[in-house]
């Protein structure tokens, strides 16, 4: 667990040190994966001694879980924002664009989550079966209701969500490949990706 975060009212210094540890851990974990990372590496990245770091967190696992919990909250915000009262095409367009923007702005977080899933999600099984499952069930229900009302072409709503995840997060998890094959580091690649994916999904879903 996070020691400092467990206090009732963490001080400003405690909050700053906790943030420093988490930022350093994000860099280390997203580069080396959980198994390849050590507390010593994280402490060095944070510019702290190992004993000082361990004042704020119980160990590597506690830091990793704290990062993943924060990531899930941020990463799922665009999915939560899908409203059953909105126009289906507008809601999906907004979601696709938000996911590409997150791949642009938070590539390390995407790689951190991908590494966790590839290892069998040993640190977040309750998040997957609890918060994530409930949210995806809810949004799949909204998509299905739109399909039943003739507002979207019929398809499996879960696989639609998975497809959006796969295509948008590709631009974070495989960014080196994307930049190499496009021959550019320009952020225009994300706008081009948004435009392409928007066309792909909306044309396919138009009733």
Angle at 68 between CA 139 and CA 74, to 5 degrees: 50
CATH number at residue 60: 1.10.10.60
Structural domain includes residue 166: yes
Total count of domains within the chain = 2
Report pLDDT digits (tens) over 80-95.
999 999 999 999 999 9
How would DSSP label each residue in 132-157? IHHHHHHHHHHHHHHHHTTSS----H
Structural domain includes residue 104: yes
Structural domain includes residue 71: no
Domain containing 25: what range?
4-66
pLDDT for the residue 8: 60
CATH number at residue 193: 1.10.357.10
95 with 82: CB under 8 angstroms?
Answer: yes
pLDDT mean by block of 10 residues, the chain; 207 residues? 56 88 93 91 95 91 90 89 97 97 92 88 88 96 98 98 97 95 94 97 95
Report pLDDT digits (tens) over 184-201.
999 999 999 999 999 999
Structural domain includes residue 14: yes
Query: Do both 80 and 59 map to the same domain?
Result: no
- Burial of 140 from C-beta contacts in 10 A (0-12 / 13-18 / 19+): middle
Phi-psi region of 130 (alpha: psi -120 to 50; beta: other; left: phi over 0): alpha
Query: Do both 47 and 132 map to the same domain?
Result: no
Query: Do both 159 and 199 map to the same domain?
Result: yes
pLDDT for the residue 11: 84
pLDDT for the residue 1: 47
pLDDT for the residue 2: 52
């Amino acid at each position: 667990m996070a020691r400092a975060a467990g206090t009732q009212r963490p001080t400003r210094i405690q909050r700053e040190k906790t943030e420093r540890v988490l930022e350093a851990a994000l860099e280390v974990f997203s580069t080396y994966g959980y198994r390849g990372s050590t507390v010593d590496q994280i402490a060095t990245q944070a510019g702290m001694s190992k004993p000082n770091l361990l004042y704020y967190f119980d160990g590597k696992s506690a830091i990793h879980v704290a990062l993943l919990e924060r990531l899930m909250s941020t990463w799922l915000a665009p999915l939560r924002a899908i409203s059953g009262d909105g126009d289906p095409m507008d809601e999906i367009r907004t979601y696709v664009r938000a996911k590409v923007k997150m791949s642009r702005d938070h590539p390390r977080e995407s790689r951190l989550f991908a590494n966790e899933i590839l290892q069998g999600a040993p640190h977040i099984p309750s998040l997957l079966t609890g918060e994530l499952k409930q949210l995806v069930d809810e949004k799949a229900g909204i998509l299905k209701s739109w399909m039943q009302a003739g507002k979207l072409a019929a398809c499996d709503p879960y696989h639609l969500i998975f497809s959006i995840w796969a295509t948008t997060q590709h631009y974070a998890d495989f960014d080196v490949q994307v930049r190499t094959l496009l021959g550019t580091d320009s952020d225009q690649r994300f706008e081009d990706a948004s435009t392409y994916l928007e066309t792909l999904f909306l044309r396919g879903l138009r009733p």
